[in-house]
């Protein structure tokens, strides 16, 4: 194809190309006459036929029409609906190739977005590429035949792919999925319809303590008008011995938000117990906790080795103390800051549960609290949400100049942006960028970066 032909690409055109790499979106990337083409459901090394869906001056997006020559890294997916379900992107990619791709994704973010010339370490692979998720939230729908369905949405749509098991979730949750759907159908509880905005059940949440086996069931509904729901909750405690609690979360709002602000315990207790680093954590329906317990335990030694011996550690965006409490034994004292008051309450309860007394937690916006604290820490742990740190947090840290900063991120793009700001003017030296695969079968990657104040 000549370069003049490239300039006349139009939606609907077909072309053949070889996939070179995987992107942070999960799509495969190939090139034709210098123009980048993004194609989902592809594997590096695939020679494919694709149909153009969107054409821009420097790139195009296409859909896969056929694999002309399969990559050696293309495998049969573990899930029978992997080609339809939007829950995973990479089940057709052999796991070592997934791990390698995540290293490249982080390296690209550091260089292209952060302008940081640093070597990214090889991604630490997960010991279990399947069955690793300790938390799932399934949208609920009623089929045209009246069946209760739970699953994930078809790629690029709101059409539900009904599941009775999922190879990515902890397999101890699989028996509950079909059974709970059948019980909901038998009770004839209403199911929320996003088109008509009718009242009823919206989501089914399942959570398991991978170290303890304790399971928490959460029904998410528009209101509490579910006949005999307490009796059914008690029955689930009997039917499933590992279930320690059943909760009802109320979310009357419209939109994509899963959980509402109000949760009631219907039976048992409103939390499960999970163990991490020989500590016990109480985890409720709304609690943020790493979905991959095994990989969280592989992150901790990196943080401990780097922060050990610090006199005063600030844990910014501390959540319920998931990282705060394991680090407390390695430092003089820890102050955790977190915007959600309920998380701060849980963090203190988790500290008390484990007899940890050298920690303090405060609730409020991190950028405001941090600016109000007069003393400067000698070490800081950052673990912000996907959007990264607020600019004011970066500004305060550059002003206070803690000796060491550890930054844990689930978004390479915002990590690169924030590292560039922290290191500007050679204020900090970037010692390590270490990806860890917390999310096998998907394009998501966790990364820890270690920084040291320049002399």
Which residues form the catalytic set? 410
Structure-token match 């163990």, residue found: 275
The binding site for S-adenosyl-L-methionine comprises 290, 317, 338, 383
Annotated binding site: 290, 317, 338, 383
Distance separating alpha carbons of residues 17 and 28, to the nearest angstrom: 11
Question: Quick one: three-class SS letters along the chain?
Answer: CCHHHHHCCCCCCEEEEEEEEECCCCCEEEEECCEEEEECCCCCCCEEEEEEEEECCCEEEEEEEEEEECCCCECCCCCCCCCCECCCCCCCECHHHHHHHHHHHHHHHHHHHCCCCCCCCCCECCCCCCCCECEEEEEEEECCCCCEEEEEEECCCCCEEECCCCCCECHHHHHHHHHHHHHHHHHCCCECECCCCECCEEEEEEEECCCCCCEEEEEEECCCCCCCHHHHHHHHHHHCCCEEEEEEEECCCCCCCCCCCEEEEEEECCCEEEEECCEEEEECCCCCCCCCHHHHHHHHHHHHHHHCCCCEEEEECCCCCCCHHHHHCCCCEEEEEECCHHHHHHHHHHHHHCCCCCEEEEECCHHHHHHHCCCCCCEEEECCCCCCCCHHHHHHHHHHCCCEEEEEECCHHHHHHHHHHHHHHHCEEEEEEEEECCCCCCCCCEEEEEEEECC
Cβ contact 317:390 at 8 Å: no
Q: Calculate the CA dihedral of residues 407, 110, 416, 34 and round it to 10 degrees.
A: -150
The dihedral region occupied by 268, where left means phi > 0, alpha psi between -120 and 50, and beta the remainder, is: left
Strand partners, 219: 204, 248
Q: How far apart are CA 254 and CA 375, in angstroms?
A: 44
Answer whether 140's CB lies under 8 Å from 149's CB.
yes
| C-alpha to C-alpha distance for 30 and 309, rounded to whole angstroms | 48
């Amino acid at each position: 194809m000549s370069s003049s032909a490239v300039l006349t690409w139009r939606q609907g055109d077909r072309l053949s190309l070889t996939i070179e790499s995987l992107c942070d979106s999960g799509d495969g990337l190939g090139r034709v006459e210098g123009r980048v083409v993004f194609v989902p459901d592809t594997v590096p090394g695939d020679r494919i036929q694709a149909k153009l869906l969107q054409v821009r001056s420097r790139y195009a997006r296409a859909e896969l029409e056929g694999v002309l020559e399969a990559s050696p890294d293309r495998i049969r997916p573990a899930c029978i609906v992997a080609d339809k379900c939007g829950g995973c992107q990479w089940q057709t990619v052999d796991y070592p190739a997934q791990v390698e791709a995540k290293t490249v994704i982080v390296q690209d973010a550091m260089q292209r977005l952060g302008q940081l010339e640093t070597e990214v370490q090889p991604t630490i692979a997960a010991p279990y590429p399947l069955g690793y998720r300790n938390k799932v939230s399934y949208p609920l729908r009623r089929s045209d035949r009246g069946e209760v369905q739970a699953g994930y949405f078809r790629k690029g749509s709101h059409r539900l792919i009904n599941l009775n098991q999922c190879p990515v979730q902890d397999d101890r949750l699989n028996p509950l999925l079909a059974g709970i759907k059948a019980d909901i159908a038998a009770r004839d509880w209403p199911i929320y319809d996003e088109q008509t905005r009718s009242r009823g059940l919206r989501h089914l949440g399942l959570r398991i303590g991978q170290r303890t086996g304790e399971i928490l069931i959460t029904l998410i509904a528009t209101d509490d008008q579910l006949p005999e729901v307490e009796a059914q909750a008690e029955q689930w405690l009997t039917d499933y011995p590992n279930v320690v609690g059943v909760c009802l979360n109320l979310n009357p709002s419209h939109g994509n938000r899963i959980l509402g602000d109000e949760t009631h315990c219907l039976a048992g207790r409103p939390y499960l117990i999970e163990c991490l680093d020989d500590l016990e954590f109480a985890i409720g329906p709304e609690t943020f906790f790493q979905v991959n317990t095994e990989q969280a335990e592989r992150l901790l030694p990196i943080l401990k080795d780097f922060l050990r011996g610090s006199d005063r550690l600030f844990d910014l965006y501390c959540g319920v103390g998931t990282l705060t409490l394991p680090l407390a034994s390695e430092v003089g004292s820890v102050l955790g800051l977190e915007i959600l008051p309920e998380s701060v309450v849980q963090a203190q309860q988790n500290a008390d549960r484990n007899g940890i007394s050298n920690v303090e937690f405060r609730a409020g916006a991190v950028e405001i609290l941090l600016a109000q604290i007069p003393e400067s820490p000698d070490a800081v742990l950052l673990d912000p949400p996907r959007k990264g740190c607020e600019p004011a947090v970066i500004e305060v840290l550059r002003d206070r100049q803690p000796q060491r900063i550890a930054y844990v991120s689930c978004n390479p793009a915002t990590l690169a942006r924030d590292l560039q700001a922290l290191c500007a003017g050679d204020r900090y030296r970037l010692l390590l960028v270490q990806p860890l695969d917390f999310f096998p079968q998907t394009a998501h990657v966790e990364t820890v970066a270690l920084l040291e104040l320049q002399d």
